[in-house]
Amino acid sequence: MFGIQKRKNLSKSSYILICTALVGLLGACSNASNPTNESAESLWTDIQEKGTIVVGTSGTLYPTSYHAEDSDELTGYEVEVLREIANRLDLEVEFSEMGIDNLLTAVDNGRVDIAANDIDITDERKEKFNFSDPYKHSYGSAIVRSEDLSGIETLDDLDGKKAGGAATTIYTQIGIEHGAEEVIYDNVTNDTYLRDVENGRLDVILNDYYLQSLAVEALPEIDVVVHPTLAYFPNSQGIIMKKGEDELQEQINGVIGDMLEDGTISDISQQFFGGADVSVEPDIDIEE
């Protein structure tokens, strides 16, 4: 093979060198095509050695990840959940703020260790990433104009409507599937979305019910409402990390379980969601 049999006068020492090189090459190919759980262990070990876990988040999504008014301080439901998780794991936490569309890529390429930004747990994403156990449960709603609900009663009425959102979200995909014209925004704050519904640049914003309710409540001067009857897409959110990081996932899940059991997550939820406990599944009729 590889020309060795054709060169019968090849010296013994040269033969050994060639075979050794081939073994090394084959071994390298084997390792590249058959990754083991060592990578998962090495990331958790690396995090422990650094004493810091790097978290990707947007910093613009109220009330889950945002900057307090007149302050540079990052806070929010998931931000404070992550701070407590890090504390219980004896780690410092470093937040890396970026656009929502960049979060999954940042996890995949190792720029951040994990990401948290109201990220829906879906079967498709679970094929590519590891998720923590959920610590938030919700469903989809819609922000529409107050005067006519933007002509929307059901999801079928999205056909031909202009729906605003980030490119990679589940809600943008739901709008597209029901015939909406997508209008893509890059990591803008809530007031931009809401004013564009009010002024007609958009007809609707599809997103999480709790997030939308608080956004509308926080900006009462903008003439929009959360749709009073439209409820769809029951969902759960969790922390996302690279596929195969099983040890890291296990460590985080252990702490989340403790925080759910001792009421810590419920307390944080009520602080940021106007008294609502988003750590339990809502009891509501959902449009199929």
27 pLDDT exceeds 50? Answer: no
Residues 195/162/136/77 CA torsion (nearest 10 deg): -20
Burial of 262 (0-12, 13-18, 19+ CB in 10 A): exposed
The pLDDT score that the predictor gives to residue 20 is 39
Q: How many domains does the chain have?
A: 2
The pLDDT score that the predictor gives to residue 100 is 86
Domain of 260? Answer: 39-135+238-272
More confident residue, 5 or 24: 24
Mean pLDDT score, 142-171: 95
The pairing of strands 92-97 and 52-57 is parallel
pTM score: 0.74
Do 172 and 43 fall within a single domain?
no
28 within some domain: no
29 within some domain: no
Do 223 and 268 fall within a single domain?
no
Do 71 and 146 fall within a single domain?
no
Measured between alpha carbons, how far is 83 from 95 in angstroms, rounded to an integer? 10
In this predicted model, what pLDDT tens digit does every residue of 247-271 receive, in sequence order?
Answer: 999 999 999 999 999 999 999 999 9
The pLDDT score that the predictor gives to residue 32 is 42
11 within some domain: no
Q: In which band, very low, low, confident or very high, does the pLDDT at 189 lie, cut at 50, 70 and 90?
A: confident
Amino acid at 161: K
In this predicted model, what pLDDT tens digit does every residue of 164-184 receive, in sequence order?
Answer: 998 888 999 999 999 999 999
Do 128 and 248 fall within a single domain?
yes
Cα–Cα separations (whole angstroms), residue 159 to 172, 194, 211, 228? 13, 20, 24, 19
Contact (Cβ atoms closer than 8 angstroms) between residue 238 and residue 121: yes
Interior CA angle at 91 toward 85 and 93, to 5°? Answer: 75
Cis-peptide into 63, omega within 30 deg: yes
In this predicted model, what pLDDT tens digit does every residue of 204-254 receive, in sequence order?
Answer: 999 999 999 999 999 999 999 999 999 999 999 999 999 999 999 999 999
Measured between alpha carbons, how far is 187 from 255 in angstroms, rounded to an integer? 30
Burial of 165 (0-12, 13-18, 19+ CB in 10 A): buried
69 within some domain: yes
CATH code at position 73: 3.40.190.10
Can you tell me whether residue 216 is helix, strand or coil? helix
Mean pLDDT score, 140-160: 97
The pLDDT score that the predictor gives to residue 288 is 64
37 pLDDT exceeds 90? Answer: no
30-40 as b/e: b if 16+ CB within 10 A: eeeeeeeeeeb
130 within some domain: yes
Do 230 and 242 fall within a single domain?
no
Do 63 and 189 fall within a single domain?
no
